[in-house]
Amino acid sequence: MIAAAAVGGILLAAVTLYGILGGADFGGGLWDLLAGGDRRGHAPRRLIDESITPVWEANHVWLVFALVIFWTAFPDAFAAVMTAAALPLWLAVGGIVLRGAGFAFRKEVSGLALQRAFGAVFAFSSLLTPFFMGTVIGAVAAGSIPADASHASMAAWTSPTSLLIGFLFVGACGYLAAVYLVGEARRRADRRMQGYFTRRALAAGAATGALSLTTLLELRGPAPALQHNLTGRALPLVILAGLTGLAVLALLAAGRPRGIRVLGALGVAAVVWGWGVAQYPALLPGTAVTLSNAGAPHSTLVALIVLFIAVVVLIGPSFALLFSLHGRQLLQGGEGLMASAAGPGSPPRRHQRSGTPGRVSRVLAIGLIAAGAVARARARGGRDR
């Protein structure tokens, strides 16, 4: 049981990291979509592009990792979700393909028309994936996934809860992206973009907060147990999410965006963990499937815990390196196309100490290591008993 709970925590950690890292990349697509015409949208699009470019693929891997943990540790639940929610998952996959390809192609084509076309593909598909993934999470949370699902169900993911959570995901992605971009603009001393994304972060933050509260109230009908736990044992996390959200909005309104990236990410993480704590130990609410009986033997769970420790040890520092290089603006596009044969490193370096994405990643890495250590200790305790 302890091992199953630990692996459940690992899965939730992977989902959280995908949410606060990959989610923000999707949110960037949302703001790209809403940035207006070529001229007006030039500056924000460029900031979005430069912020996402070197990191989105690495951030995206959290999704693959979460999927692998899901099917290895909880194969019964995985098969049920993949069968019952097949349609929104296919649509989310379509969004992933189009987003990644559109984004990568846009940089490499010359000519405005083609760039517009690929840019539009990138921006529009950035909406699809979070929305449909949200509906799938909504279907799980609302208890609409049967344990022995043999057919796709339309009703499972088109319930009000599912659709609300779909919109909540889009809102949260937009909120995170805007908050990160405010920090990025501030670091570049770009006052105009800082104000531009401050307004958007405020709007998205208000919308996301409202959607969260609505979802919480709406859960009374389809998932009373979840709602009860969210206002019960998960209440501290719910309050943390609310407070960080309000703090971010207050700091933004006051024009003092110091630390908002960490606070924004923490708020979204608190929502994810609030859900996890409230639903524990059920994996598919409304069925008998829990963390400990979803199909994997103990040895598989232990192997996954060992694997996760390896991931934390190897990937944590690597991400910290990536984000800190990115934060210090040492990673830039245009790697080819050299007309002069001058070696790399010729442009003057800018000295910037406060690499905020670097700081976020360091905080994350430390948090992950701590979580892994706790999980490991608990797993070991479970075995000794």
Q: Which of residues 114-173 bind another protein (CB under 8 A)?
A: 115-116, 119, 150-152
CB of 153 to another protein, least distance (A): 10
CB of 314 to another protein, least distance (A): 7
CB atoms within 10 A of CB 129: 27
**Which C-beta is closer to another protein: that of 63 or that of 248?**
63
Phi, psi of 290 (to 5 degrees): -120, 180
Q: Which residues contact 333 (CB under 8 A, 6 or more apart)?
A: 50, 53, 107
CB of 359 to another protein, least distance (A): 17
Report the residue from 3, 4, 30, 69 that binds another protein according to the rule CB under 8 A.
69
User: How many CA atoms lie less than 13 Å away from 162 in the CB half-sphere?
Assistant: 20
User: How many CA atoms lie less than 13 Å away from 151 in the CB half-sphere?
Assistant: 3
Give which of 46, 62, 32 is closest to 126, Cα–Cα.
32
Asked if 12 touches another protein (CB under 8 A), the answer is no
CB of 93 to another protein, least distance (A): 5
CB of 61 to another protein, least distance (A): 5
For the segment 17-56, give every residue that binds another protein (CB under 8 A): 38-39, 41-43, 45-46, 49-50, 53-55
For the segment 213-272, give every residue that binds another protein (CB under 8 A): none
Report the residue from 1, 36, 108, 366 that binds another protein according to the rule CB under 8 A.
108
Asked if 381 touches another protein (CB under 8 A), the answer is no
CB 368 within 8 A of CB 316: yes
Residue with tokens 């999410």: 241
Q: Mask 287-316, x = binds another protein (CB under 8 A)?
A: --------xxxxxx--xx--x--xx--xx-
Asked if 382 touches another protein (CB under 8 A), the answer is no
Report the residue from 154, 254, 288, 347 that binds another protein according to the rule CB under 8 A.
347
Residue with tokens 């996959």: 93
Asked if 325 touches another protein (CB under 8 A), the answer is yes
End-to-end CA distance of the chain: 11
By rule CB under 8 A, what count of residues binds another protein?
Answer: 97
Report the residue from 175, 197, 275, 319 that binds another protein according to the rule CB under 8 A.
319
Region near another protein per CB under 8 A, out of 138-146, 201-209, 332-340, 352-360: 332-340
Burial 249-274 (b: 16+ CB within 10 A, else e): bebbeeeebeebbbbbbbbbbbbbbb
CB 309 within 8 A of CB 372: yes
Asked if 197 touches another protein (CB under 8 A), the answer is no
CB 166 within 8 A of CB 138: yes
